Amino acid sequence: MTGSTSTDEACVAIRAVDLIKTYGTKVAPVEALRGVSLEIEAGERIALLGKSGSGKSTLLNLLGGLDHASSGGLHVGGHDLDQLSRRDLARFRSATVGMIFQSFNLIYSRTSIENVELPMVFAGRPPRERRESARAALESVGLADRLNHRPNQMSGGENQRVAVARALVNRPKVVLADEPTGNLDSQTARDVMGLILDHVRRHNATLVLVTHDEELAATCTDRVVRLKDGRLVS
């Protein structure tokens, strides 16, 4: 899947060129990605499939600016991630992308509304404004009555919905979801996917969904991309 040069620059949400990611030491290097090139248009919904250990999460972390590629170029939401300063990269993570993880990654000591507020805290939004936004986001995922509950006082589905609210509260142009429904029963999974897709549709956002579920990939996304041993296959 090499990028087609005919695509208008403005329409490209993600462009990866020959991404290589090598973990570990020189003695025992682990090549998680071995040259991935990928182009995703704005508003496109992509499913990323592959066996365990094929490098899906690695790729997603690179796209989310959580990690640096060992080599290769990467543009996300109009930013060249190599060029961003550390400070801008932090801003990129809070404003441009929204990440959802299989294991929710909520802060246990904080209530749901505080968890949802967190990205806005680092973005420097004033308290009243961000409280309002967080409340609205939680209401839109159906948790109006769980604002002041802590993660350990809520079910997995509820926690994931909090995580979704947190990922989407800053209206990101790119939503990156790493097996968001992996820990949920099928009904709850459908609800959570519904929330994500709803957002993507409404804001014309780009979605990269990592999943093992062929059916979910087929019904919820426009295109399926497969990874095998750190390389794209299709």
Partner 1 sequence: MRLTDLLVMPVASLGQQKLRTMLTTLGVIFGAFVLAASLSIKEGVQETIDRESRKNDYSRKVTVFPKWDVVGSKPVSEVIVDGTMSPGRRERIRKALEEQERSKDAKRTRLDLSKERLEKLAGLPHVQQVIPIIHDGGLVLLGTRPEGVSLDSGSPEDDAFLKRIIAGRGFLAPDERGVLVSELLAYRLGIVNDFDLQQLIGRPLRLELQGRSSSPGFSVSISRRASGGDREEHIALEQVAAQLPAALDRFDLTEEEVEALRKAIRPGPVVESGVISEDFPVVGVYRRKNEEEFKGNRGSSQADISVVLPYLTAADLYFREPGRREQGIDQAVLLVDEELNVKDVARQVEGLGLDARAAIEFIERERLIYDLIFGGMTCVAGVALLVSALGIANTMLMSVLERQREIGIMKAVGADNRHLQFIFIIEGGLIGLVGAAVGLLLAYCASFPADTWVRSMIMRDIKMELKGSIFVFPPWIGATVFAFTVLVTTLAAYYPSRHAARVDPVTALRHE
Ligand X SMILES: Nc1ncnc2c1ncn2[C@@H]1O[C@H](COP(=O)(O)OP(=O)(O)OP(=O)(O)O)[C@@H](O)[C@H]1O
Binding residues for partner 1, per CB under 8 A? 61, 64, 66-67, 86-87, 90-91, 93-95, 99, 101, 103, 105-107, 109, 118-119, 121-124, 126-127, 166
For residue 58, give both structure tokens: 């690695």
In the complex, minimum distance from the CB of residue 202 to Mg ion, in angstroms, rounded to a whole number: 28
- The Cα–Cα gap between 62 and 87 comes to 16
Tell whether residue 94 is a contact of Mg ion (CB under 5 A). Answer: no
Separation in Å, CA 33 to CA 17, 53, 148: 12, 10, 41
- The Cα–Cα gap between 59 and 48 comes to 10
Which of helix, strand or coil describes residue 224?
strand
Tell whether residue 53 is a contact of ligand X (CB under 6 A). Answer: yes
The residue from 54, 57, 133, 211 that contacts Mg ion (CB under 5 A) is 57
Q: In sequence order, what are the residues at sequence separation of 6 or more whose Cβ sits closer than 8 angstroms to the Cβ of residue 87? A: none
Tell whether residue 180 is a contact of ligand X (CB under 6 A). Answer: no
For residue 86, give both structure tokens: 């550390």
- The Cα–Cα gap between 84 and 204 comes to 24
In the complex, minimum distance from the CB of residue 57 to ligand X, in angstroms, rounded to a whole number: 3
By a kind-dependent CB cut-off of 5 to 8 A, residue 24 interacts, out of Mg ion, partner 1, ligand X, none, with ligand X
Beta partners for residue 74, in sequence order: 16
Q: What is the largest CA-CA distance in the chain?
A: 53
Tell whether residue 32 is a contact of ligand X (CB under 6 A). Answer: yes
Tell whether residue 54 is a contact of Mg ion (CB under 5 A). Answer: no
In the complex, minimum distance from the CB of residue 229 to partner 1, in angstroms, rounded to a whole number: 20
The residue from 19, 50, 133, 165 that contacts ligand X (CB under 6 A) is 50
In the complex, minimum distance from the CB of residue 11 to Mg ion, in angstroms, rounded to a whole number: 28
Binding site for Mg ion (CB under 5 A): 57
